A and B are shown apart, each in its own frame.
Chain A
Amino acid sequence: MSEVRLRGFGWRHAGRRAWAVRGLDLEIRHGERVLLLGPSGAGKSTLLAALAGLLPEDSGESEGAIEIDGLDPRKARERVGIVFQDPQTQLVMARSGDDVAFGLENRGVPAAEIWPRVSDVLDRVGFPYPINRPTGALSGGEAQRLALAGVLALRPGLLLLDEPTANLDPAGAALIRDAVARTADPSTTLIIVEHRVAEALALVDRVVVLEPGGGVRADGTPELIFAAYGDKLAGEGVWVPGFSTPPVKATTKPADDLVRVTRAAVTKRLPPVSLSAGAGEVVAVTGPNGAGKSTLALLLGGLLAPTSGRVEAFGDRRPPHRWRAATLTGRIGSVFQNPEHQFVTGRVADELALGPRRLGRTPEQIRRIVDDLLDRLRLTRLAEANPYTLSGGEARRLSVATALATAPRLLVLDEPTFGQDRRTWRELVDLLAGLRDDGHGVVAVTHDDAFVRTLADRTVPLGEPAPDPLPRRSRP
């Protein structure tokens, strides 16, 4: 039961020229449930951090006023709970119950009260395991549910959710939505930041749109906001419900096979699978978590040896995993799920020049390739930046660009649209469609239904996941 009041609030991180948020006037009353929207860079996450009291006074400059129940958020910390994106870096303890108890211990809740509260909140979020379940054995969605339980156990008057489903597959995201809906209670004020608006809409009764330059652009019920601002928001990358994209499918039949997988399997990770991908087609590999999709992407990318079966590509007698790296990168480009894994240098431009240099291109050719890619993927402005400082969408575009720099005929992507805003999504789809029409082969491992509907010429569903990896208990 908390009330939020902002008057001309602004925050500038130390060492930055631009204000992350500025000129915000906003009042949120007891028990309201608010979806906070705005294009990337509008300062949504900064605002949540400020409300959670997680911006120390010496970490930047503030202006205006921000109050929770009339208090500075730094002094109202015990009234506020926040759930972040990544479940892995929110869980503290090795056992699920201990993790929920962690916050209660910190707040000095008497020991006798702790365990009843732990089991009560685990029931409320629908956590299906006993309290000694190892946190390392939870799926992403389950771990995020546990993180939510750990926050709700503290009975916050104000609950902040910072893109809680962005790192989860659709099944995991559904678990979280369901858990938030189950635990929504009229005495808790709720503020959600979420790109995938349709998923959050059932949980809120008010939408606030932040303006990137500062201030609030719009504020009202979801129906009113989307009727008046839907077009503009969709154009800025927000996943406004009801905006579908026209499919872009191949117009010609695929040519010769670039890669052929014959009953290839990897012990404990991928049951035997056969698959081929030709020049000029987009193949989507779908299936539940644990079905071995990412492992298949590694096989196709020449990064992993199958334990049985065969992988053949480009008419080479040697299988791709035996090729030298330079040969591999000239033929097959791999784009990883986490873009940061792929960055090797300290500058965006160097990142793009790396592959062509390995292939022995001349400096003149390299310069042309780099400039062209920077331009096509809207990265020219960031040519001198460090790849690790890019935003999620920029890092994704750069990771795709690095794979394209060596002009491989086959492109293998693992969850390329994961957590992307609508604008980056659209750009990726158009880019991949263009590559396909130029005669490249594209294989994408994906959970994203819209991506499959819009772009895929063929879908290869993988089977059921392997059984639970938890070791069986030995009989007493």
Chain B
Amino acid sequence: MTLSVEPIADPGAPLARRNPVAKLGAALLFMLPLILSVDPFAPSAALVVELLVLPFFGIRMRLLARRLAPLLLTAGGILVTMVLFAGERTGDTVASLGPIDVTTGVLATAGALVLRIFAIALPGIVVFATTDPTDLADALVQNAKAPARFAIGALAAFRLVPLLGSEWRALTLARRARGVDAGRNPLAKLRLFASTAFALLVGALRRGVRLAVAMDARGFDAGVPRTHARVQHFTAPDAVLLAAALLTGLAILTLTLALGHFNPIIG
């Protein structure tokens, strides 16, 4: 198992090369108005806008599709759950599966939920796919004034994540070599999984401690103001991106209200 941490987009694309903090901020500002309402109109409009700006991120569609695959699974799960367990079954009956009536109302609610998930997740996926983790940490420290202790520390920990995959494999094999396997017993499987996970955690903690000591030995806790070897610029186009994201999000919200689709999440 290796985690793909490298950006999967053309780094020269007009929006991909914006400041990481601007991209992250834009994604958040755009999403905020969307979560206020549970109607199907707002996420649909947002998805349209997102698909329109997608080409400017220079992302390759096949790779994006692969990243979206887990979301499709989630969407399927939601659809099934709603059809089986929805309390309100308004609207016309589309099909009857034994005791379960599939109605238009149920399908509409489920559809709105699925749309929301995609509309909210897509900006985040695009931002992380087009952003180098090192650049993000640098920009968080330099432009968003995040503490280096947090941003660089998280970055260093992130570097150890791919190791967990090979570690897990080694632990699993070693357990088999010791004569420990679960066979077909689901309870034993669960116990084995838990004990392997615990060993993985213990190993990860020990490595984390060693890394922290090595970082401090190189002055990470020196307390003098850090300088920055790689400079991240926050420029006018970045500010424009932020403003545009906020305004578009608000525009969609206004439209939703004006057209009477608004359905507040609270109350």
Contacts and interface: CB of A to CB of B under 8 A. Distances in A.
Interface of A: 52, 54, 77-78, 81-82, 84, 86, 88-95, 98, 101-111, 114-115, 118, 135-136, 147, 150-151, 154, 298, 301-304, 324-326, 328-330, 333-334, 336, 338, 340-344, 354-355, 358-359, 388, 402-403, 406
Given A109-B227, A111-B229, A329 B178 contact: yes
Given A102-B215, A326-B179, 5 more contacts: A77-B219, A328-B177, A341-B170, A341-B174, A354-B179
A402 B229 CA distance: 50
Contacts of B160: 88-89
B228 A329 contact: no
Contacts of B177: 301-303, 325, 328-329, 333-334, 336, 342, 403
Contacts of A338: 170
Contacts of B175: 325, 344
B222 interface: yes
Interface string B188-223: 000000010001001100010011011111111010
Contacts of B66: none
B178 A136 contact: no
B211 A78 contact: no
A379 B199 CA distance: 22
Contacts of B219: 77-78, 103, 106-107, 154
A213 B207 CA distance: 30
Interface stretch (B93-101, B106-114, B151-159): B151-159
> Which of A78, A340, A402 has most chain B Cβ within 10 Å?
A340
B117 interface: no
Contacts of A88: 160, 163, 207
B264 interface: no
B147 to A, nearest CB: 13
A18 B257 CA distance: 73
Interface residues of B, number: 48
Nearest to A335: B177
A298 B174 CA distance: 10
A253 B55 CA distance: 71
Contacts of A388: 202
A93 B134 contact: yes
Interface of B: 5, 132-134, 152, 155-156, 159-160, 162-163, 167, 170-171, 173-181, 183, 195, 199, 202-203, 207, 210-211, 213-220, 222, 224-231
Nearest to A358: B179
A54 B133 CA distance: 29
Nearest to B176: A325
A344 B195 contact: yes
Given A52-B217, A94-B133, A298 B178 contact: no
A343 B195 CA distance: 10
Contact of B227 (A95, A104, A301, A302): A104
- Most A Cβ at <10 Å: residue of B159, B195, B215, B218: B218
Contacts of A109: 227
B228 A98 contact: no
Contact of A54 (B202, B216, B228): B216
Contact of A342 (B174, B207, B214): B174
A78 B224 CA distance: 11
A101 B170 contact: no
17 contacts: A84-B210, A94-B132, A98-B230, A102-B215, A102-B220, A104-B227, A104-B229, A106-B222, A107-B224, A324-B181, A325-B179, A328-B177, A329-B177, A341-B170, A342-B177, A355-B179, A358-B179
A234 to B, nearest CB: 30
B180 A150 contact: no
A92 B195 contact: no
Most chain-B CB neighbours within 10 Å: which of A89, A118, A354, A359?
A89
A354 B210 contact: no
A86 B219 CA distance: 19
A94 B160 CA distance: 10
A399 B186 CA distance: 28
A105 B170 contact: no
A106 B221 CA distance: 8
Contacts of A108: 222, 224-227
A271 B51 CA distance: 46
A111 B162 contact: no
Contacts of B180: 325, 344, 354, 358
A133 B227 CA distance: 22
A135 B214 CA distance: 16
Contacts of B220: 102, 106
Given A93-B134, A98-B134, A106 B218 contact: yes
Contacts of A102: 152, 215, 218, 220
A341 B171 contact: yes
B172 to A, nearest CB: 9
A297 to B, nearest CB: 10
B59 to A, nearest CB: 16
B212 to A, nearest CB: 9
A89 B68 CA distance: 32
B159 A114 contact: no
A328 B231 contact: no
Given A93-B134, A103-B218, A325-B180, A336 B159 contact: no
A359 B178 CA distance: 11
A114 B227 contact: yes
A300 to B, nearest CB: 11
Contacts of A326: 179, 181
Nearest to A94: B134
B176 A354 contact: no
A109 to B, nearest CB: 6
Nearest to B158: A94
B65 to A, nearest CB: 20
Contacts of B171: 341
